[in-house]
Structure 1
Amino acid sequence: MVEDPNLSTLIDKNLSFSIPAKHCRGRAVRLGPVLEDILSAHNYPLQIRSLLAEAMCLTALLGALLKEEEAQLTLQAQTESGVISLLACDYKDGDVRGYIQFDAERLVSQPLEPSLMALFGKGYLAITFDHPEPRGRSQGIVPLEGASLAEAVQNYFMQSEQIPTVIRVALDVEDDRTVVGGLLVQHLPDGEEGKERLHVRMNHPEWEHVAIMGSSVQPEELVNPVLPLEDLLWRLFSESDEVRVLSGKPLVKGCRCSEEHIRDVIARFPKEDKEDMVDADGKISIDCAFCNRKFTISSASLNN
């Protein structure tokens, strides 16, 4: 057990773990100050704030599954007739960022805990894994159905990837802080991570035991900022022969916008398109939705 824990070591982090005897792997995540930094970029109402917090937790959980340097995980909602017109989050090497665009007038008529259908209408969630070559990109599309984003992502793994999966996310919102925590557990029969998955069974005895234990996690345990994630995993799975825990990358706000990056993006456009971007003052203005910053670049400073 950890005595007098330093909160900075217990939050804004993820852990990777495996249960070799049960052929299971998992990830545990808890976000606090980093989440607040992301949320503070916009004056989000409570419903949107809560949804983005859940999406950021899922992004960190799924991103932590990546092993290669420079690999990226992106969650993006495709919506139709919903309050939300855009949800976009991504993870890269421990850097996380997220943004939601929504109709404020339509949101007013929604309850404090609106359904996914009310928020997204007929929506779909695109889950994209960008791996370095030669693996390249893979993408899955999941309907935004169920009680939460976490349930929709869990259904994606169960139905599309045929990987028995349990995902739990909990949120604690107070006036001065927001903490979100999540747990992802998966069964990879016939070998540990990286080996071919054969004979997948949703009712496999190994998986049934782990699924029950993982599902028993309490919301207050996931968001408790003084409960080490290592201790939480031990509480849940201590009946197993062995739980191997590895620290993941520290989680930080990772908006990648900068003047240099903006210039590089603009440089890729044809000359005619760049000329169309220039305003009456001879400047090009670019807004970054993720961090709510505006970049203004003189067209004369660009190499046409």
Structure 2
Amino acid sequence: MRLGPVLNRIIAAHSYPPVAEKLLAEALVLTVLLGSTLKTEGSQLTLQAQTGGGPVELLVCDYKAGELRGYLKFDAERLAEAGSDPTLFALFGEGFLAITFDQAATGERYQGIVPLEGSSIGHAAEHYFEQSEQIPSLISLAARHDAGADCVAGGLLLQHLPEGEVGRDRLHVRHDHPEWDHAKTIAATLKDEELTDPATSLETLAWRLFHEDEVRVEPGTAVSRGCRCSTDYFAGVLAQFPLAERAAMADDKGEIVVDCAFCSRFFPISLTDIAGHDHAE
């Protein structure tokens, strides 16, 4: 998959340095790839990477019904010291990756947590699937932001899924299965420039890689910037706090100012508007 305009809408809300921008862009692509595996409409995938002493303190992205958002918190001075092409360890230290699936149909939440290991956040996600799901995976991520141009990022998720048929071997326990090795070898030929080249369609890439096998293209889901912040939403959240706590949070104008990290905007919410949600309840 590939992100262009929606990626730039998300990134434009912040003044990220190139290293941070590339990391967030790749994480957003990864979030969509993982979110696309959700089968129930309204389910949500949340990806979170947290520091273990590195300059990147927090990375969080989520995907729900085609809506995508993401945010990166970091120490600017320490990140600059990491150089222009830092390792995953240089960015996060002994950090961890958490992937959370919220299932809309059942209301259940499932979360897997693994160390941030490997040379990229994609490799860390491969480790998650290997350890938490026992599903061998190959994840390729790339982001490009040329001078004077918008950012473009792309990614590939290839997984060795179990056949799941009664009486047949489950493929995920057969790591030496020749078909999986064959597919990995072919997918490894995909170049970063191809993933980030808008002139090359995703269908063309799929055909180039796997034309010797069956290629089936399913309709995709349009992805949009999905920050769910609004005055009404925040007023409803604040209405859950006791009156005394609301009064303590308010400023001299009788407003509680909410900072949305995702879209980098401030929302002044009056105590009167919050009280209106009390009556609505």
TM-score, normalization: structure 1?
Answer: 0.86
Query: Which of 22, 29, 32 is 1:57 aligned to?
Result: 29
Aligned position for 1:104: 76
1:124 aligns with 2:96: yes
Contact kept, 8 Å, 1:130 with 1:137, in 2: the verdict is yes
Q: In the alignment, which residue of structure 2 is the partner of 1:15? A: none
Q: Percent identity?
A: 53
- From the superposition, tell whether residues 60 and 302 of structure 1 become closer, same or farther in structure 2 (CA, over 3 Å): same
Correspondence 1:209 to 2:179: no
Distance in 1 (alpha carbons) for counterparts of 2:162 and 2:52: 38
Task: Tell me the distance in 2 between the aligned counterparts of 1:138 and 1:80.
Answer: 23
- Going from structure 1 to structure 2, the CA distance change for 1:264 and 1:31 (only over 3 Å counts) comes to same
Instruction: State the 4+ residue runs in structure 1 displaced beyond 6 angstroms.
Output: none
Q: Secondary structure at the match of 2:85?
A: coil
Q: Deviations over 1:252-272 (max 9, x none)?
A: 111010111111111122223
Contact 1:164–1:201 (CA under 8 A) maintained in structure 2 = no
- What's the offset of the Cα at 1:224? 1.0
1:71 matched to 2:66: no
Contact 2:161–2:172 under 8 Å retained in 1:
no
Relative distance call for 1:301 and 1:243 in structure 2 (3 A) is same
Amino acid at match of 2:120: S
1 CA distance for matches of 2:50 and 2:80?
Answer: 22
The gaps in structure 2 that reach 5 residues or longer are: none
RMSD: 1.6
Matches within 5 A, 1:232-243: 232-240=205-213, 242-243=214-215
CA distances 1:88-138 after superposition (whole Å, capped 9, x unpaired): 100001111100011112122121011111211210011001102426111
Report the secondary structure of 1:248's partner residue.
coil
Point out the structure with the larger helix share. 2
Residue 144 of structure 1 aligns with an amino acid whose one-letter code is L
Is 1:35 aligned with 2:7?
yes
**How many angstroms apart in 2 are the aligned matches of 1:198 and 1:212?**
17
Q: Aligned runs of 1:9-20 on 2, under 5 Å?
A: none
* 3-state SS of 1:182 partner: strand
1:176-205, Cα deviation, whole Å (9 max, x unpaired)? 21111100011113249xxx9566211112
User: Structure 1 residue 93 and structure 2 residue 104: aligned?
Assistant: no
Task: Write the distance in 1 (CA, Å) between the matches of 2:70 and 2:140.
Answer: 20
Indicate if the aligned counterparts of 1:164 and 1:187 stay in contact, CA closer than 8 A.
yes
Distance in 2, matches of 1:234 and 1:302, equals: 54
